[in-house]
Amino acid sequence: MNVMMPQPDCARSVSQFGFIVLTLLFGLAGCPKTNPEPTKSVVEPAPQDNRTAKTNRASNAASPDVTVADAGGRFEDRAIESGITFRMNFLPKEQGEKFKINLYDHGCGVVVGDYDGDGHDDLYFLNQLGPNALYKNKGDGTFVDVTRQAGVGVGDRICVAGTFADYDNDDDQDLFVTSTRGGNILFENQGQGIFKDVTQRAGLELIAHSSTASFVDLDHDGDLDLIVTNTAQWTGAELESDGKYYPGVTSYDDLVVSPKEFNNIYKNNGDGTFADITEVSGLKGQGWGGDVAIFDFDSDGRIDVLITNMFGASQLYKNLGELTFRDVTKEALGRISWGAIGAKVLDFNNDGNLDLFISDMHSDMWPPASLSDAVTYAMQNAKVKYSRVTGAGIKFGKQADEIEARFVDKLQVRYDDVVFGNSLFRNLGSGRMEEMSDKAGLETWWPWAIAAGDLDSDGSEDIFLASGMGYPFPYWQNHLMMNNSDETFSERSTELGVEPPRGGTFQRDQIGGERAARSSRCAATADFDGDGRLELVTNNFNDRPYYYRNKLAPRNFVAFKLKGTRSNLDAVGAVARVFVDNQILTRQVNPAGGYLSQSSQTLHFGLGKKECITRVEITWPSGIVQRLDPPKINAVHQIVEPAESN
């Protein structure tokens, strides 16, 4: 990582800020013919910054440039060889003895973050039965289990999702974990790889059927606020006999009429505590909250929020300022996915505008598992959107028609407002977005989480969809959708080594008398081994995770780690744009999202064979716009927010 040593003429110690200011030096410019000399970008923190830091994790030494290693042309699952021995364990009486319809089958998340501040992304896996697992990255993409030392096992409840974030602006990554009726947890990072439960002190105690958590500075005051999505009361009143969890409902009918729970919105008070502002924020939602995506869709300088709805239409909320929001779904998006799971913000067509992709699993769930013709039909028509809420199941006779009629009433489906399948919204600017998933080729079968990143470093972001269901269904593959750089995607999971699974498509053990097909639930991306190529990691259902080392042919890239001063320290919501040829490559610091998971905060830009970058532009959450001369390519640069725009 290229970080400039403090210089006598521009660096200064600011004791009231609690840290030493670092200035930034790029190496040889990305366009050596036009920029023969190294360029400097001197950056300072904004005045009036009154934060204090427990520890100073900023390095005063410049890290070496990334060495891009020779490689073949596929992904390779190397979880075991890399030291990842975790296994997600489901609840046997919920999913093992017979097929039960409830949200325990949604599985658990996987979280990426640098918890110990050593510059390498680490891994945290969530679990249902048994402890979660924290793995420290040894710096080469291999890991060691440090769960016990860190104190984040949380083996006493059903965990769902997690997110790393520096909520207290003390320059280390804290951890928030959601659960199903076990209570959510905020862990404060104490340094030295140790965490402390501060949930009660922070005012974040909540017992609910929680789903995703996302930290974002909703009011642009420099502190990360918190959104927690909740689903519904789909579990019973009595604890299971061993006292560890509440049994879930057993049928679609019971599930869809479960009393709704709503989102919780917390304002960060800036003193380590939060205030619940749900009722006045406009973000309470309509129940069945799944995932969160944050982006300034209308370019008005305020972060807007999209929340997926598992049994209804997802909602896009416009930020009106002063912590108030308004539902603008219909006017901005038109029709949107019904029964959505994950949401991810990316610029898929390199036009400088942030687009939105939503995965819709619940439109695929209706074909009866016992009717092989229905399942076969569904798989053969996986790329076709449905016209009715029960999806492919509606194709099979009078019984399906009766089911359709029954659930339309229970779910209050408004056909003119929704589509049944994935949706990709191209940002047209000025607050308008156009749905084009079919044109792009992004309709898939039984998708859950979305992980996005430029996996082949050709300049365009690709999409991985964790997919499948497991028993008593057939094996349904994960989808690797590679961007063709022409607003279309091609499914290349088998060609590039993601499919079939290394251990086979079915697990050895039977569940409920049926073979259990392998299936993934959540996914994330990061350059774990520091070779300039993004890896993929999944959390699988009742199985070990996949950890796909990226062995695709190396290409040029540039990467940035952003650090806010006037903005939140994590720079969540900051947007970096790399101008190259006639394209604007755009990435946002928004690691949480995609469904229950979190990817790396480092912004990775593939450049393909290009060696010349025109310029880099960063829009910080504070509104400051920072323009930088061409950086050295094939390197990771730390950029600190300046005091004002340049």
Give residue 396's pLDDT: 60
* Yes or no: domain 74-551 corresponds to CATH 2.130.10.10: yes
For the residues 225-251, what does the mean pLDDT come to? 91
Give residue 368's pLDDT: 65
For the residues 254-281, what does the mean pLDDT come to? 97
Pairwise CA distance, residues 496 & 72, whole Å? 10
Which one has a higher pLDDT value, 18 or 244?
A: 244
| C-alpha count within 13 angstroms, C-beta hemisphere, residue 295 | 30
Give residue 397's pLDDT: 60
H-helix or E-strand containing 435?
strand 432-435
What is the pLDDT confidence band of residue 586, given thresholds at 50, 70 and 90? very high
Which one has a higher pLDDT value, 452 or 372?
A: 452
Query: At residue 90, what are phi and psi to the nearest 5 degrees?
Result: -85, 180
**E-only strand ranges, 503-623:** 506-511, 514-517, 520-526, 535-540, 547-551, 556-563, 575-580, 583-588, 603-608, 615-619
Give residue 370's pLDDT: 63
**Is residue 373 predicted with pLDDT exceeding 90?**
no
Global confidence as pTM: 0.90
Q: Are 627 and 479 in contact (CB under 8 A)?
A: no
**Could you tell me the CA-to-CA distances from 560 to 380, 455, 579, 603, 633 in Å, in that order?**
42, 16, 14, 5, 11
**Is residue 557 predicted with pLDDT exceeding 80?**
yes
The SS3 assignment for 336 reads: strand
Tokens at 54, concatenated: 């427990």
Q: Are 497 and 74 in contact (CB under 8 A)?
A: yes
Give residue 1's pLDDT: 52
| pLDDT tens readout for residues 433-491 | 999 999 999 999 999 999 999 999 999 999 999 999 876 678 899 999 999 999 999 99
- Residues whose CB falls within 8 Å of the CB of residue 59, separated by 6 or more in sequence, listed in order: 1, 3, 119
Give residue 393's pLDDT: 66
Using CA atoms of 523, 526, 532, 535 in order, give the dihedral in degrees to the nearest 10. -30
Tokens at 487, concatenated: 């607003």
Give residue 43's pLDDT: 36
Give residue 369's pLDDT: 62
For the residues 534-563, what does the mean pLDDT come to? 98
H-helix or E-strand containing 639?
strand 636-640
The SS3 assignment for 392 reads: helix
Using CA atoms of 638, 112, 147, 241 in order, give the dihedral in degrees to the nearest 10. 160
Q: Radius of gyration (Cα) for the chain, nearest Å?
A: 23
Tokens at 564, concatenated: 């806010």
Burial of 8 (0-12, 13-18, 19+ CB in 10 A): exposed
Pairwise CA distance, residues 165 & 176, whole Å? 8
Pairwise CA distance, residues 317 & 287, whole Å? 15
Burial of 432 (0-12, 13-18, 19+ CB in 10 A): middle
**Is residue 233 predicted with pLDDT exceeding 50?**
yes
The SS3 assignment for 23 reads: strand
Pairwise CA distance, residues 404 & 394, whole Å? 7
Pairwise CA distance, residues 427 & 434, whole Å? 7
Pairwise CA distance, residues 464 & 467, whole Å? 9
**Is residue 6 predicted with pLDDT exceeding 60?**
no
Q: Which of 451, 455, 453, 452 is nearest to 71 (CA)?
A: 455
**pLDDT mean across residues, the chain:** 87
Amino acid identity for residue 334 in this structure: G
Which one has a higher pLDDT value, 229 or 510?
A: 229
**Is residue 75 predicted with pLDDT exceeding 90?**
yes
Give residue 584's pLDDT: 98
Pairwise CA distance, residues 301 & 228, whole Å? 23
Give residue 423's pLDDT: 96
Q: Which residues pair with 14 in a beta bridge?
A: 19
Give residue 395's pLDDT: 63
For the residues 382-408, what does the mean pLDDT come to? 73
Q: Which of 44-48, 161-165, 414-418 has the lowest mean pLDDT?
A: 44-48
H-helix or E-strand containing 376?
helix 372-380
Q: Are 468 and 476 in contact (CB under 8 A)?
A: yes
Query: At residue 227, what are phi and psi to the nearest 5 degrees?
Result: -110, 130
| C-alpha count within 13 angstroms, C-beta hemisphere, residue 489 | 29
Q: Are 135 and 124 in contact (CB under 8 A)?
A: yes
What is the pLDDT confidence band of residue 415, given thresholds at 50, 70 and 90? confident
The SS3 assignment for 382 reads: coil
Tokens 């030096």, residue located: 25
- Residues whose CB falls within 8 Å of the CB of residue 253, separated by 6 or more in sequence, listed in order: 406, 410
Instruction: Note the Cα 558 to chain centre separation in Å.
Output: 21
- Residues whose CB falls within 8 Å of the CB of residue 348, separated by 6 or more in sequence, listed in order: 355, 357, 424, 426, 440, 460, 461, 463, 483, 487
Q: Are 6 and 22 in contact (CB under 8 A)?
A: yes
Pairwise CA distance, residues 111 & 177, whole Å? 10
Q: Quick one: what percent of the chain has pLDDT higher than 70?
A: 85
What is the pLDDT confidence band of residue 398, given thresholds at 50, 70 and 90? low
Amino acid identity for residue 427 in this structure: N
For the residues 499-521, what does the mean pLDDT come to? 89
Q: Which residues pair with 420 in a beta bridge?
A: 386
